[in-house]
Amino acid sequence: MAKRIDVKDLDMYYGDFLAVKGVTMTIEPRAVTALIGPSGCGKSTFLRSLNRMHEVIPGAYVKGEVLVDDQNLYAPGVDPVGVRRRVGMVFQRPNPFPTMSIYDNVVAGVKLNSKRMKKSDMDDLVEASLKGANLWSEVKDRLAKPGSGLSGGQQQRLCIARTIAVKPDVVLMDEPCSALDPISTLAIEDLINDLKSEYTIVIVTHNMQQAARVSDMTGFFNLEATGQPGRLVEYDDTQKIFSNPGQKATEDYISGRFG
């Protein structure tokens, strides 16, 4: 279940290029941590390094430590596949598998664990996951239909159902509402609020109202100058960041005088 994440002096590279430098932060369990900052400041890169998706890009690697429950995800011998089963991820654009039905999309991750599962258990899991993603009542009569036939907001909730079906410790969300309309966005935000009782949630967002609405803690990322690596400027309670930030740059950004 929900785990604490300790990031210690993490540098992220794309080949020779240092993209994000020296991030140290503690992400609390059963809470929502929002990462904000201008485009290109490295918040998505940082998010992807928390489940070792960063290194999927050819030439990309990190230096430093990410401890989940005191176990370093980047220790030698740790299998990135195992890491990703414990730290799930929801992407910017909804990406259900287009060739699979709604039902198969939900159990896609579970089937990877190659556990033989009874049909009835599988049905229960699908129902529980879809209920957990607030989607059950909308799709329960068409589970065999393709997931790509749903609306954008429904697809994104389907992706969340798929992520929580494998019962991860942490759920990462990379701008999950940026492709959605306001009503769907509200549905996802409500869902994030429900999910935090069980999961550690880290969300990247460009929408500062959203960060203020859903998160308990907020981290502000910024570039010192063009071409310089991004870094974590300030990390504190969301309330404090938005009412009384400790750094000038943070204040400029959230008040819209910047970027």
Residues at the site binding other proteins, with contacts judged by CB under 8 A: 51, 53, 56, 81-85, 88-89, 91, 93, 95-101, 108-109, 112-113, 146, 148-149, 159, 162-163, 166
In the bound state with other proteins, the residue whose beta carbon lies nearer, of 148 and 207, is 148
CA 181 to chain CA mean position, Å: 19
Using CB atoms within 10 A of its CB, is residue 30 exposed (0-12), middle (13-18) or buried (19+)? middle
| Closest separation in Å from C-beta 123 to other proteins | 20
Identify the sign of the CA torsion 124, 125, 126, 127: positive
Cβ neighbours for 209, distance < 8 A, ≥ 6 positions apart: none
Shortest distance (Å) from residue 80 CB to other proteins: 9
Show contacts of 225-229: CB within 8 Å, 24+ apart: 229/11, 229/18, 229/19, 229/20, 229/21, 229/42
- Smallest separation (angstroms) from other proteins to the CB of 259: 27
Pick 45 or 218: Cβ nearer other proteins: 45
Which is closer to other proteins, CB of 79 or CB of 225? Answer: 79
The residue count of the chain comes to 259
CB of 37 to other proteins, least distance (A): 22
Q: Which is nearer to other proteins, 42 or 109 (CB)?
A: 109
